[in-house]
Structure 1
Amino acid sequence: MQKKNKHFFLNGKKYYTNKNKNLKDIINYFNYNSSLLIIEHNYIIRNKKDWSKIIIKNNDKIEIITIVGGG
């Protein structure tokens, strides 16, 4: 049986996967620095401790906000 591709949106761009991925997998795959991020998943800000528990489903919307310091 062939696995069905599912798609998700990351910062407005559509991506496909046929594997079970969680938010932490997505951060690692796209090489984000996890210490400087806020993640909005389906319009809810997600706690960092829950990133590995949240499995990406078809049509999920993920926004990654990078914190930038300055002065």
Structure 2
Amino acid sequence: MQKYFTIFINDEPFNCHSSMSLLDLIYYLNIDINNIIVQYDYEVIDKSQFDFLFFKNNDYIEIITIVGGG
């Protein structure tokens, strides 16, 4: 089993440990979980599923940051 592989976050390659969940990745990247939407395989992932989603080599995710303003 591979220990590390590459995933793509917003078109940028990222070397990921095979045991990292989406939640682990978000914390590792120091992203505020309350201000994002994540798309994986063309579907928006509910925040309650972040801890249960694990990646495969060459997976692609899109992390969209919600910015408030007026």
Q: Does 1:32 align with 2:27?
A: no
Alpha-carbon deviation of 1:4?
Answer: 4.3
The alignment-based identity, stated in percent, is 36
Secondary structure (helix, strand or coil) at the match of 1:21 reads: coil
The C-alpha deviation readout for 1:3-54, integer Å capped at 9, x for no partner, is: 4431100111001124311110110010000001100012110000000000
Q: Which residues of structure 1 form unaligned runs of 5+?
A: none
Alignment of 1:1-71 (within 5 A): 3-71=2-70
Q: Which residues of structure 2 form unaligned runs of 5+?
A: none
Pick the structure with greater CA Rg: 1
Mapped to 2, the partners of 1:28 and 1:44 lie a distance apart of 21
Mapped to 2, the partners of 1:13 and 1:70 lie a distance apart of 27
Runs of 4+ in structure 1 displaced over 2 angstroms?
A: 2-5
Conservation of the 8 A alpha-carbon contact between 2:8 and 2:58: yes
Equivalent residues, number: 70
